[in-house]
Amino acid sequence: MAKEKINLNISGMTCVNCSNGIQKVVNKLDGLESSKVSFASNSGEFVIDSDKIDKDKLIKKIKTLGYGVEEDIKALEIAKKKAYYKLRRLFITALVLSISIFYFLFFPVANINLYIMFALGSIVQFYPGGRFYSLAFKAISHKNFDMNVLVALGTSAAYFYSAFVVLFPALFPAHLRFIYFDGASVIITFILLGRLLEERSKAKATDFLKNLMNLAPLNAQRIEKDGTITQIPAIELNIEDIVLVKQGEKVSADGIVIEGGAEIDTSMITGEPLPAYKTINDEVVAGTINTAGLIKVKVTKLANDTTLSKIIALLNEAQSKSMPIARFADKVANVFVPIVILISILTFFVWYFFVGDALSAILASISVLIISCPCALGLATPIAIVSAVGKGAKEGILIKNPEVLEIIKDIKYAVFDKTGTITKGEISVKDVMLDEQYLEVLGSTESYSEHPISKAITNYIKEKGYACTQKIEDMQVLPGFGVSAKSGDEQILIGNITLLENNKVDIPKEYMEFFEKTINAGNGAVFASVGKDCIGVIALEDSLKDGAVKLIQSLKAKNIVPILLTGDNEVTAKKIASEVGIELVYAGVLPDEKYKVIKDLQKDAKVLFVGDGINDSVSIKQADIGIALNSGSDITKDAGDIILMNNEIISVLKSINLSQRAMNTIKQNLFWAFFYNSIGIPIAAGVLYPVFGIMLTPVYAGIAMSFSSVSVVLNSLRLKFAKLQG
């Protein structure tokens, strides 16, 4: 047996049942070992015995089910966009025509009014509503009875009853000539609205992956054996090749520095705001940026094995994870729909054979279908989601993926990145020990540099009231050490301890004690000297974000365990964790290690992850709920389920509270929808007729159906006025 793994991009899937249906059918093929179809990522992973079945046969089988198989991601994206725009067009059509139907309902036009409503209702039923017929057919063919079946069945009962009243009025007594084109059209319109919201989120599911791929270096400056430099595509680099990386360029491959030194912006990997100085024998990573300096790098990994390529692979894997299985309404519909059909049929036979009233048999069976029409059931989720998304937007919370509302209640772990998430991600001066007479010259020197530390020192000194305009000469940025300049005849040095030692500047004991105390506390520090005299130490810190402490306390009160997960060193990580009240800390972890931590936590319970850097994108996508800050990278925001537009960390708590309230509203809506059906269906079937002589005609069934829908809508709208704690 020759096993072969095949990955396919599948278009045309509209719900979880589509992916389930594909798996059910292809699993029956002789030679298929296993299959995993993801509705979330529009992808399928199949393991086949190539001696029994080939790729073409597998693709052909999927296509016969009505789905497309695209060659690459680009073709899949085009197909997804077409599907989204088609759905939007159907919704707009249904909305406009439904409004028109209501106009003619309240402002009739002489004798042709019914025919106008019939024409408009027919278009809605078979053009926008035709989508539900095809999806219902697919569902039934896969032995599923989902919401599509319920929508098709209920709207058909209302439409065809109304159509017969218009076209063959003589078949009905005068008091039973009612039409329900408005009800059927509204049902179709609102269900399409809910689907449109879902598709909008799903249509952008792979944007983060495309943006991350754009980070990969396209070209490399390879140094040939004769010393000449050749520009080649980065993917053509081989192990042991030597490449030149100039200031402002991306590192073209994972490798080791063999000559030179440079400040490398590694924020995409570590999330840390400060560039890291890399010199001989230090490792560098493809896609990171040389901000200052010149280095030669020996390639140690091929393009498909770099850290960046592994991040992309992990994201692809995380993207394919199973989303929450079908909505509660869909699951109940698998039982509810067959029961409704059976009750309708039984109602007809009881009235026809035992009562002997053919007309009542027809009307009662239709009343059962109309009263069970899933308007309230179908509106229960989408209207609540619309309200929750609207409320979130007002609070600065963008809910990209409404599916997270279903799992927020199960969150046990809330994992946070440090820099830019719990902390501000901005270097600032915490404290100083220096002679103030030198502040003007130090500020003037640092004002010539764009380094984050230089900016922090300049801002601090300006806040002290100094202009920082003193004339500075011979300014030099020394990558990995600091800065050097001249003021008159005096040399100015601002940087690390090595810089001063290399220039034979003695450091007094009190400055060393201050320095060591600062470092042990998890903060950074730089020395300053004028001439051969060390004139002080400047302590630096990354301060906590407003609301961070309150957020952690509130999460603990909800029995959610907060965790700090950072690429920063252990001393700094534990310092920040203790300040906010986090006990569990993972420090010094790279993106793939963060991803593994998330996966390990998920073995125990649901995980929420909050981050802002490119290095967090893998974890955000893998977590059950990913929250990104608007100040973060585009890739991270694309990967997140929720974006905090206001960048306020306390909004994490508001997001949780909003999600919980939205889910409670959905549950209330579903309860009342099913409660209404449990009462209404028996009455429509005629159980009260023998004792009370009450017969629920289709018009009253329609009124009852509308009442349940209105109650669901009003209950959902309460979310817009909810006060979120934060």
Identify the helix (H) or strand (E) that includes residue 625.
strand 625-629
Contact call for residues 669 and 376 (beta carbons, < 8 A): yes
Residue position matching structure tokens 């296993």: 34
- Mapped onto helix, strand or coil, the DSSP state of residue 289 is strand
Reply yes or no on whether 417 is catalytic: yes
How do 242-245 and 289-299 pair as beta strands? Answer: antiparallel
Distances (CA, A) of 77 to 41, 74, 200, 204: 11, 5, 13, 9
* DSSP letter string, 188-229: HHHHHHHHHHHHHHHHTTTHHHHHHHTTS--EEEEE-TTS-E
Spatial CB neighbours of 531, under 8 Å, sequence gap ≥ 6 = 490, 491
Chain centroid to CA 650: 19
CA-closest candidate to residue 387, choices 161, 160, 658:
658
Rounded-to-integer distance, Cα 708 and Cα 496, Å: 71
Contact call for residues 566 and 578 (beta carbons, < 8 A): no
Distances (CA, A) of 384 to 183, 197, 388, 651: 20, 12, 6, 20
Contact call for residues 271 and 255 (beta carbons, < 8 A): no
Rounded-to-integer distance, Cα 96 and Cα 108, Å: 18
Residue from 417, 542, 568, 624 carrying the catalytic annotation: 417
Rounded-to-integer distance, Cα 488 and Cα 187, Å: 81
Total Cβ atoms within 10 A of residue 234: 21
- φ/ψ (deg, to 5) at 463: -65, -20
Residues with active-site annotation: 417
